[in-house]
Structure 1
Amino acid sequence: MWTGLFSEIMRGLSSSIFQYQVISTPTDIFMVMEYVSGGELFDYICKNGRLDEKESRRLFQQILSGVDYCHRHMVVHRDLKPENVLLDAHMNAKIADFGLSNMMSDGEFLRTSCGSPNYAAPEVISGSTCRLVVPKFVQLL
């Protein structure tokens, strides 16, 4: 049930990679997903150096919009980092790799520490329980 509900929620998110189909065999799982030609945001930054302010704002707004959509539907990515943001042919951000994501209920805490330590929030690193809360600085943007 979780995967069906998750897929249904994610269909409404334009800033996420679209998953067309999942094929399961006794030995393998295959996912047919949208092709995103621009590669990872991480590689783009490494190749081109820092982003200019206008481009940074545009990409940041797209990523925040995607995260906001997920959070409004109680989906937590849990591993958001430049390597998991892909760029399409028009340099639009697409959030990818929801492999560590989880769905939450109101008032529920996440207790499992996962994701990439270099990008994790302090409460995740310290092992504290985490709620689905939008930081104040994000609310101001």
Structure 2
Amino acid sequence: MDTVTPPVNHGTQSYSEASRALLSKYRPPKSAASSANLKRVIEKHLEKTKISLDKFLDFGPNSELYLCTQNSTGKQLVLKVLVKGTVEQVGGTVMKRPLDYDKLNPEGSVAGIAWVHEFTSMDSTAYSIVTEYCPKGSVAKLLESNGALQENDARGIFSSALAGLAHMHKNKVAHRNLKLENVLLDGHNRAVLTDFNYSLIVENSASLEAVHATSVPYLAPEVFSNVPYDPIIADVWSLGICMYIALNDCLPFGPAGKPLVGSESFYTFKKTVEAALSAAAKKFLKLMLQSDVNKRATSFTLQRDAWFYQ
């Protein structure tokens, strides 16, 4: 018999508040000396790449983001720095995988996917990934400023996010780090997926993963079982969590909750959202948040869903 998770008490904690609490839990403290050393590493690396550092933007559990300018073109870019030691402290691994970024998004020609300018090892202590800059920021920042999205706004954003994800999956690439912080907005409020440092090519069953990649609240139920899983179908779950959070401005399973394998009725909406949300939107979300991987929709079938044509 399936076990059903009790209804979540959503309380008053917004997504941004929950994220900050989780970030403080998982991000190791950094000393002033290590900060100064990282700054020197970044400056030395940028001298060689002919990119100027403009300002600090944000940080995550194992990375820091900076706004930069390409000297030859004046184009603004984002530099993400991953500190190898910090990643190891939180139990993760980062490596330069054989991912063909030019094929995935040649010169930024594919809608919904950030153009990757460069992925390289800065030195023995850090990696860097340079991508296009989206001045409107992430959907996570949008929620922090404006609260939960209306259904029509969510439809436009997730239509373009799904288009980007389907393109990755068509090329047998799993994102593996889908979260609202990695869903950016372009000048027309279209979603742009970014942060591919955990992405990998999934050729066959031998490519199945048994390693956690994205943040805990976005992990699919099968990932918690610590056995090989299909990262492409796990991406669909993560996108479903993104959509749930965007509509509710809270986590679906409480501050650090995890879905139960085999459970079908494990998430609830805020009452105001439940009343306003269309049946088509609820059905669409359910297709993504199926704990049974054999029942979970693919990114390709989701693109044809009736919700996008209302």
User: What residue number does 2:228 align with?
Assistant: 129
Query: 1:78 is paired with a residue of what secondary structure?
Result: coil
User: What residue number does 1:63 align with?
Assistant: 161
Query: 2:105 is paired with a residue of what secondary structure?
Result: helix
> 1 or 2, which has the higher helix percentage?
2
CA drift of 1:29 comes to 5.1
| Partner Cα distance (2:172, 2:160) in 1 | 18
CA drift of 1:84 comes to 0.5
> Which of 197, 201, 223 pairs up with 1:99?
197
| Partner Cα distance (1:14, 1:24) in 2 | 27
User: What residue number does 1:9 align with?
Assistant: 104
| Partner Cα distance (2:130, 2:227) in 1 | 36
**CA RMSD of the aligned region, Å?**
2.3
**1:117–1:125 Cα contact (<8 Å) kept:** no
Tell me whether 9-18 or 23-32 shows the greater mean CA deviation.
23-32
In the superposition, relative to structure 1, how do residues 8 and 52 fare at CA in structure 2: closer, same or farther (>3 Å)?
A: same
| Partner Cα distance (2:214, 2:120) in 1 | 25
TM-score (norm. length: structure 2): 0.41
Query: 1:136 is paired with a residue of what secondary structure?
Result: coil
1:83-126: CA deviations, max 9, x gaps?
11111122111101111111111233112222111111111122
Query: 1:94 is paired with a residue of what secondary structure?
Result: strand
Identity of aligned residues (%): 28
Paired residues, what number?
140
User: What residue number does 2:173 align with?
Assistant: 75
CA drift of 1:30 comes to 4.8
Q: Which has the higher contact order (CA 8 A, sep 6+)?
A: 1
Query: 2:205 is paired with a residue of what secondary structure?
Result: coil
CA radius of gyration, larger in:
2
Q: Aligned partner of 1:80: which letter?
A: L
CA drift of 1:26 comes to 4.5
TM-score (norm. length: structure 1): 0.84
Give unmatched runs, 5+ long, in structure 1. Answer: none
In the superposition, relative to structure 1, how do residues 22 and 99 fare at CA in structure 2: closer, same or farther (>3 Å)?
A: closer
Give unmatched runs, 5+ long, in structure 2. Answer: 1-96, 237-295, 306-310
